[in-house]
Amino acid sequence: MAHVPSNAERIDWLRLARAESVGPVTFRHLIGRYKSAGEALRALPDLARRGGRALPLKLPSVDQAEQELAAGGRIGAQLIIGCEGDFPPLLAALDAPPPLLWVLGDRALLKTKTVAVVGARTASATGRRFARTLANALGEAGYIVVSGMARGIDAAAHEGSVAWGAVAVLAGGVDDIYPPDNAALYGALVAKGCVVSERSIGHAARAADFPRRNRIISGLSRGVVVVEAELKSGSLITARLAGEQGREVFAVPGSPLDPRARGANELLRQGATLVEEVEDVLRVLEAQPMVTEREPAAYAGPDPGADPDIDELRAALEILLSPTPTAFDELARAAGAPISAVLAALVELALAGRAELMPGGFVARI
């Protein structure tokens, strides 16, 4: 039976997700160790202090969490937290999924067959037409198209698929219409599809929010189609994340004379599936087994408390860490310690602002 969280549990989950220095990976390990958001919240101040944090950790109050829930209710948005049955299964399969999602519109679309179509903001007329036509054909074939509501290819993909239902992932809150000239498209998406975000209601998108948005675009999708993209672009980040998440990567070839084709052409050189028509996408996706939720390989172990060995391990890990991401198991081998103890120490360092835990089992020094 699907878990139905109480209002108190929902508030605790929201507070933990919004706590300072708690990203998706740290959140997952805290829930794995303490079994509830409430218990993790009570442990946070001491964990951050043990990790070497000088100033108190900023934790949202119950009132602040209730205000965010009330703000969502006023615009008709719904909060889905990671422990409830309605959380999108494709997103739940990530290592680690976002702790929560705000949804405005038809949340049932998040549990259907989905595929992302993304590309350049400054797209060509030909690229936009192709994206619009492809998205419409995917919708007709029973797929819900996911994109980021940006100008260019994203907007064209939404326009082509919105009649079938479409999903827009926003970098700001679900009420942050960006860019403003997509206001009419936003209205259509809310009415016929849905918009989602992990950010709070009223949050205005910032540059740092877009990579996290891209991770949700790929995480919600069985595959990602890149129509046009330059070599250094958010669309290629989305494609890279899709590959890391075990999702299919598709690319539409383009002229070598057009810089907007270089990103997609490079993906093709790296093994992406070439797309000239909708059947190229359907052939791969229909043969693909559905992604199912999986348990993470390891959690931070039991709270070691005042054990002096954890102090020594934490100091050793600080020396071993580098700005270049390092795998958890590599650190465990180098430190000669069990992976559960290493993860426990790394969570403390992350809460102290000294390390960043990353998806895929990596950590970097801040």
pLDDT digits (tens, 9 = 90+) for 26-56: 999 999 999 999 999 999 999 999 999 999 9
Q: In the chain, which segments carry CATH 3.40.50.450?
A: 111-286
* Whether pLDDT at 296 is above 50: no
pLDDT digits (tens, 9 = 90+) for 250-284: 999 999 999 999 999 999 999 999 999 999 999 99
* Whether pLDDT at 204 is above 90: yes
- Average the pLDDT over 94-114 and give the result: 95
Query: Who has greater pLDDT, 269 or 309?
Result: 269
> For the domain bounded by 308-365, which CATH number is listed?
1.10.10.10
Q: In the chain, which segments carry CATH 1.10.10.10?
A: 308-365
Class of domain 111-286: alpha beta
Tokens, residue 7: 């209002």
